[in-house]
Amino acid sequence: MSRIFRNAYIFSNISERDVIILFLRTKETKEKQEQIEVLKYLFLPFKCNVKVYWEQIFGILGVNEFMRNDEIMNY
């Protein structure tokens, strides 16, 4: 993932074991959506659920980079 999307952050959701959250920090396009689908198919178990955030991320307490005003969304 990090080779295709250089600025990506990958999170594991502690409360939901089979959920992976991707923050890609790029604009959403059809080509990028297809790349995500291929990576999910090749490298993740079928039961794994992936939530993708493109340009805006939710705030994470204690991590200043994710708490910028006007750049976060509600999760």
In-domain check, residue 63: yes
In-domain check, residue 41: yes
* Helix (DSSP H) and strand (DSSP E) numbers for the chain: 1, 5
Number of domains in the chain: 1
Domain residues for the domain of 50 are 9-73
In-domain check, residue 21: yes
Q: Tens of pLDDT along 1-11?
A: 778 888 888 88
In-domain check, residue 3: no
- Model-level pTM? 0.66
Q: Tens of pLDDT along 12-58?
A: 877 777 888 888 888 999 999 999 999 989 988 888 888 888 877 66
Residues 6+ apart with CB under 8 A from 2: 8, 10
Determine the Cα–Cα distance for residues 67 and 41; give it in Å rounded to an integer.
32
Instruction: Give me the torsion for CA of 32, 51, 4, 14, rounded to 10°.
Output: 180
